[in-house]
Amino acid sequence: MRATRTILIGGVLALILGAEGSLAAQDARSGGATRLKDVASLQGTGSVPLIGYGLVVGLNKTGDRRQTIFPAQTLANMLERFGISVPAGQLKIENIAAVVVTADLPSYARMGARLDVTASSIGDARSLQGGILLPTPLRGPDGQIRVTAQGALSLGGFGGGSATNNVQVNHLTVGRVPGGGLVEVTTAVAGPSPDSISFTLKDPDFVSASRLTRAINAELGPDAAHALDSATIAVRVPEEYRNAVPDLVARLEPLSVDVDAIARVVINERTGTVVVGGAVRLGPAAVAHGNLSVKIMTQVEASQPPPLSGGTTVLVPNQQVSVEEGRAQLITLEQGTTLEAVVRALNAIGASPRDIIAIMQGLKAAGALQAELVIL
C-alpha cells in the first residue's frame, strides 16, 4: 500500500507519496513501512512527569520586576539558609526570574543518569537569555524528589535593545538545560513477564492492531500474537526467550507495520496551516472561489494661500476608496474524488491558505468532506 500525506507550504498544497511496504517476514526489516517501535510501546513502561520550582540568576536586567513578589521571597529564604538575613521587601533585584522546571523521567532511568529539563518563566521576566538555573528539586506525582536540575539555559534565540526599540528572535522566556537533570531516585518498574508481553498502540485502531498481529506472527510463527482490543496486542514469549525477554523485544521493535490512518484534515487557523491525510475522500460538490478587496487610502495635502493674502496653510485630507472583486472560479469535485485531484484543483484556482481553510470547513458543513476535521 502507499502512504500519502498533504501539507500546505507557502500557499501551495504538496502531495507526498510514501514508499510501498509489506508485512511479509522477509521484508519486515526493509524499512518500507513504519516500525513497530514507532507506533506501539511495551505495556507497563512509560515516562514519569516531573515538576519543580526554581530560580534563574545571572540575567542582564531582564528578570522579574518588583510587582512579582515570590522571586524576592525565594531569594530571601535561600540567603537565610546561608546565614544572610535580608527582608524580602528590601530586596531590589532585576537579575533573577522565577521558573517552573519540568522533565520526563524514563521508566528505566537509573541513579546518576542525566535528563534534559525545561525552565519556563512564571513571572514577568522579559528574557531568560544568559541565565543559570540554580539547583532545583523535581518531584513526581507522588511528591517524592526524583531529580535535581541545574545548569546554563539554552534558549535558541536572542533579544536586545530597549523597551521601545528592541529586536527579538524566537521565544525568550522558555529555555532548556541539556543534561541538566541528575537522577537521584530510581523508579521502580516491574520487568516484562517471562511468559507473555503486550504492546499498546499509540493510536488505537482495529485495522492497525490486526496488521501488527500478522507482522508478529510472520516473525515468530502462527498464534504467537493476538489482538485483545483496538490498542493491545498480547505476544506469547517463545521458549528460547523465557530468560531473555529484552532480546525478544529488540527483535520485534524493528518489524515493519503498515498502520491504517484515520481520514483527517488538520487546520491551524493561527498559522494558516492545512494538513490533509491520504485517506481523505470527497463526495460530489462544487466550490466557488473569489476575492473581495477593499482599499482605503488617505493622503494629506497642504493647501497654500495666495501670496500676501494673509491666509494660513491648511492641511486637507484626500481620501480614496476602491473596491475590487476577483474573478470567481467554480470547480466541480466528483464522487470519490481523491486527494491528488483535490490538490490539483485547489492549486489551479490559486487558493491561499485562508481560502483553503474556508473551503475545507464549507465542504465539511455540506457533508462532502468524508474525513474528520480537526481545528487546532
Q: Is 26 exposed, middle or buried (0-12, 13-18, 19+ CB in 10 A)?
A: exposed
What is the Cα gyration radius of the chain? Answer: 30
Q: Which domains does the chain have, with CATH numbers?
A: 33-44+190-257 (3.30.1360), 48-183 (no CATH), 264-375 (no CATH)
| Nearest residue to 245 (alpha-carbon basis) of 210, 287, 195 | 195
pLDDT (tens place) for every residue of the chain, 376 residues total: 444 444 444 444 544 433 333 333 334 333 347 898 888 888 877 788 999 999 999 888 888 876 677 777 787 778 777 777 777 666 667 788 889 999 998 887 888 899 999 999 988 888 888 899 999 999 988 888 999 999 999 887 666 655 555 666 667 889 999 999 999 887 766 666 778 888 989 888 899 999 999 999 999 988 899 999 988 999 999 988 888 888 998 999 999 888 887 888 888 877 777 787 777 777 777 766 665 444 545 565 767 777 766 677 776 666 555 545 555 556 666 665 665 666 666 666 666 777 777 777 887 888 777 788 888 8
Tally DSSP H helices, then E strands, for the chain.
6, 25
Helices 206-220 and 245-252: crossing angle in degrees, nearest 10, is 120
Q: Is 119 exposed, middle or buried (0-12, 13-18, 19+ CB in 10 A)?
A: buried
Flag whether the pTM goes above 0.75: no
Per the DSSP assignment, residues forming a β-bridge with 19 are none
How far does the chain reach from its first CA to its final CA, in angstroms? 29
Amino acid type, 50: L
